[in-house]
Structures are given as structure tokens and as C-alpha cells.
Amino acid sequence: MKVVILCGGKGLRMYELTEDMPKPMAPVCGKPMLWHIMMNYKYFGFNDFILLLGYKGEKIKEYFIDYNWKQHDFVLDTGSGSIRLLNENETFNITFLDTGIDTMTGGRIKRARKYIGNETFMLTYGDGLSNVDLRKLLAYHRKMGRIATVTGINKKTQYGVLTVENGIATSFREKESSGGLINGGFFVFEPAIFDYITDDTNCVLEQEPLKNLARDGQLAVYFHDGFWTACDTYGDILKINMLYAGQKYPWKVW
């Protein structure tokens, strides 16, 4: 099953870092935030990634092109140039897809359609850390039998707020200031999601697509009460690194 990760935003609220790198490459405890997200998916058996690139996407490409020899111990055959890693637990299968500098989230996903294929797929943001059980999320999605499932988090925040009845969203409102069950990312989608996403590069997943899915009773909500944090600002990154340096990371499942 493919895992699609939104990696194209400019990260204007952490400009201290994103002037030189894309937001998913912000360093968290010595590794890019994106690496932590991918390692959690890999632990649960999902290792086929599509990275939707935009702003400074070449930095993400460069990191993973050099990943084997920079990040691992290895054996080099100088005759053939082949490398055998001594620790293969961190290997990934990655499709790098440039989806435009200014393309919105829905537009980025729509541009990946032919690479995703006609199958169920997972999707998340490149700036959120959580210990959500991804196998349970997928099982819940299949049980509910809807087009889309989103992970719901109880948190007072400015993010999209979900109203839920019997595990199904009845409304989706983006950027509310009041408390409630919010969009925590970590989605599962059926191919029919593409019927809700227009070809417009300005299509925002969190606006009409999710609102219309909720209106049609096609947005299930998986409740997660474990660790979850968004990394939106430079202060968020500093706080995470300060709190968890040298400790077991609360988002780590592997």
C-alpha cells in the first residue's frame, strides 16, 4: 500500500529554518522530521512512499540520494561500486514527485493520481509527529467502509475541527479557534477520493473535498488519544528538540 506524504509547503511560520530547507527536513533530535514519520510507517509494514514535493524539494531528493552512504555503515565493492548496508532496517522505496511550488494540498494529491493507481492509499503531512497505530487505523477504515478516514485528535487549536457521530464525520470546519476534535492528519483514502478533488492547483484538501465527504457521510474518524504534535513554527521545533533530546521519543513506535 502506498503512503503519500505532503512535503511541498513553504513553512512560512518557521522561516528561520525553511529559508534553506523545506519544512519536512526540519531537524528533530538529529534527523529530519520526515525521516521520523517514514520510520513509523515502515514499522507498521508500509514502505512504499510517494513524496509530494514543492518548495525546495531538491533538498529532500538530495538527502535520500545520499542517504545510504551518509547515514549507514556499509560494505563497498570497489569493483562494481555496489553498497551493502550493514543495517537495512532504514531502507525505503520512494517516488519523488514534483507537484509545483504554489500548488495546494488537494492539487498535489490529484497530480499523484497515476502513481497511486486504483487502490487504497494512506496520506499524511510532512510536519506532524504521532505514535498513531497505523495498522489499527487501516483496519478501522476497512471496517467503516467509507471513502476516507481521518485521524481525530482532541486538542484546542486553530486546525480543522470535526463534528462526529457514531464514528462518521457530519461536518468539517477548517481553522476554528475553539476546542474540539481536530484533523490530526494520518488519512486513509479509497480511489473515489479523486472524485472530490478538482484539477485546480488551488484545490485545498481541507476545504471543499473534506467538507463534501463529511456532507455525504463518507468521512470516517479514527480516534487517537496517544501522542500527537504539529510542528508549525520554529518554536515548535525548538521545543521538541529541547524536551526529547537524548530520550525515547514519544512518537517513536519502532
Please report, for the chain, the start and end positions of each structural domain, with discontinuous segments joined by +: 2-244
pLDDT reported for residue 23: 93
Tell me what pLDDT residue 158 has: 55
2-244: CATH topology = Spore Coat Polysaccharide Biosynthesis Protein SpsA; Chain A (3.90.550)
Q: What's the pTM value of the predicted model, to 2 decimals?
A: 0.89
Residue type, 242: M
Residue 152 — φ and ψ, nearest 5°? -100, 135
pLDDT value at residue 151: 98
Q: What is the DSSP string of 1-17?
A: -EEEEEE----GGGHHH
Q: Note down pLDDT in tens along the chain; length 254 residues.
A: 999 999 998 877 787 777 889 999 999 999 999 999 999 999 999 999 999 999 999 999 999 998 877 787 888 888 888 888 877 667 899 999 999 999 999 999 999 999 999 999 999 999 999 999 999 999 999 999 999 999 999 875 555 677 888 888 888 876 555 457 899 999 999 999 999 999 999 999 999 999 999 999 999 999 999 999 989 888 999 999 998 887 789 999 98
Q: State the pLDDT at residue 223.
A: 97
Pull the grid cell for residue 62: 538530495
The C-alpha cell at 201 is 492547483
